[in-house]
Amino acid sequence: MIDLDALQAEEIEEILVTTDSMKEVLSREIKQVPALRGRTVVNMFFEESTRTRISFELAARALSANIVNFTARGSSVEKGESLIDTVRTLQALGADMVVIRHSQSGAPYLVAQHFHGSVINAGDGRHAHPSQALLDLFTIRERLGQLCDLKVVIVGDILHSRVARSDIWGLTRMGAQVTLCAPPTLLGPSHYWLATWPNIQISHHLDTALEGADVVMALRIQKERMQGGLLPSLREYSRHYGLTPERLARLGQHTLIMHPGPMNEGVEISPEAATAPNSVIEAQVTNGVAVRMALLYRLGG
Amino acid sequence: MNNRKQILTADEMRRALVRIAHEIDERNGGLQDVILVGIPRRGVPLAERIAATIADFEGIQLPVGQLDITLYRDDLRRRGMAEVGKTSIQHDLTGKVVVLVDDVLYTGRTVRAALDAIADLGRPDCIQLAVLIDRGHRELPIRADFVGKNVPTSRSEHVMVHLREIDAEDEVLIERTKAEQ
């Protein structure tokens, strides 16, 4: 499971149905089933991430798998061990599945070539973050009952975002209408996007893009983008592309507000928008565990 | 087609379910705290039919739930991933009498998984088992409390329960594999 580009709509549908069953397990008093008893999952995080790591960890435990956390800091990686050697070592230690987060796009493909079990991409560089995209799809469908024909606006640092890329794959496969909205410096040339996804819309003007939107997904603005000269100031970004209280008021009550986290409140999203009744940001986090259970089960069962 | 034989007609199936409904009633006098739990797929419509029958003659509507046992199977590793169905039981099972309902009792492994699944959901006072067909060949110390029809089979035979809710008609067939002919 490295990205959603390899999945057909029916396969995505099956994962979402399994996720629904997993959500029922998580609603029980005893949130654990024996499906992956005796399996060993290694969480390999070469990049900091609390939310995704804990989410995979809880998912593996809910399926009774053994899970071991591996972080690059303080490990053999600091002693110069290569990614391939690390993977071979984990294989020799008996790992059945690997969950990998890496700052280099494509690192999970390399791991998959050298590991005999299943590999789940938990985010690689700018490339992909499939479990995040699947939890976004699940959350939208849970709230709005469908994905097909919905208008979804993704706003923010799309150029550097693996979440955006996986979301576009998943949303377009499921028949949603995707609009990308960002300043030109955070989007790059339109033809770059249209070459892969000819049916998506591209906009540099958020208020226009939001007209008739069923879902608006704000992406995190990383502070280092300022130093790279891609943004004049965070305040200016917020005024043009932030989910401000004024824009929130103009959105319909039914328009879902989403964010993959962690949020920069006051930059890409205002505290009012983050906690509005139509915000599903917390539901995204909750559903993340169920989605990851579905992925672990389907790959390791 | 001649390697298939009908072993239960729609009418016989109806009578068997009515008898099971009466036996459940008799065994659990008053039907207090009884909850019927079907094992998908075909156990669920069977549980609903038994509940409807009981409602007809006793005027009591028993709660019906469904229990998916996929995540509790002991052959996931051997047979690979199976699609997970939905578990939906609206009632707390603790202190209740749970009557598990399934179409065919064979090795007993499905029931074993169901017992584990129930233990995770609550602590019923008692768990009973109702099946439409008992075909023998148990691999575990499990027996049914209520049986529609006992059918002696060989392991190479295949028992197919068809229900109108899923298969458009009610009947039970037994199919002999090619090797047996």
Please check whether residue B169 touches A, CB under 8 A. no
* A47, two tokens: 């990049």
Inter-chain CB proximity A18 and B83 less than 8 Å: yes
> Considering all CA atoms of chain B, what is the largest pairwise distance in Å, rounded to the nearest integer?
50
- In SS3 terms, chain A reads as CCCHHHCCHHHHHHHHHHHHHHHHHHCCCCCCCCCCCCCEEEEEECCCCCHHHHHHHHHHHHCCCEEEEEECCCCHHHHCCCHHHHHHHHHHCCCCEEEEEECCCCHHHHHHHHCCCEEEEEEECCCECHHHHHHHHHHHHHHHCCCCCCEEEEECCCCCCHHHHHHHHHHHHCCCEEEEECCHHHCCCHHHHHHHCCCCEEECCHHHHCCCCCEEEECCCCCHHHHCCCCCCHHHHHHHHCECHHHHHHCCCCCEEECCCCCCECCCECHHHHCCCCECHHHHHHHHHHHHHHHHHHHHC
Q: B85 contacts in A (CB within 8 Å)?
A: 21
Look up the ipTM and state it: 0.85
Q: Which residues pair with A243 in a beta bridge?
A: A269
Q: What is the pLDDT tens value at each position of chain A, 301 positions in all?
A: 889 999 999 999 999 999 999 999 999 999 999 999 999 999 999 998 889 999 999 999 999 999 999 887 777 777 778 899 999 999 999 999 999 999 999 999 999 999 999 999 999 999 999 999 999 999 999 999 999 999 999 999 999 999 999 999 999 999 999 999 999 999 999 999 999 999 999 999 999 999 999 999 999 998 777 788 888 889 999 999 999 999 999 998 889 999 999 999 999 999 999 999 999 999 999 999 999 999 999 998 5
Sign of the C-alpha dihedral, residues A285, A291, A296, A301?
positive
Which A residues in the span 4-33 are in contact with B, Cβ-Cβ below 8 Å?
Answer: 14, 17-18, 20-22, 24-25, 28-30, 32-33
* B180, two tokens: 């047996």
Rounded to a whole number of angstroms, the distance from the CA of B87 to the nearest CA of chain A is 7
Probe site for chain A from B71, B77, B81 (most A CB atoms < 10 A): B71
Please check whether residue A195 touches B, CB under 8 A. no
Please check whether residue A61 touches B, CB under 8 A. no
In chain B, what are the domains? 11-154 (3.40.50.2020)
* A29, two tokens: 């008093």
Q: B121 contacts in A (CB within 8 Å)?
A: 28-30
Per-residue pLDDT of A55-99, as tens digits, reads 999 999 999 999 999 887 777 777 778 899 999 999 999 999 999
In chain A, what are the domains? 4-129+285-300 (3.40.50.1370), 130-281 (3.40.50.1370)
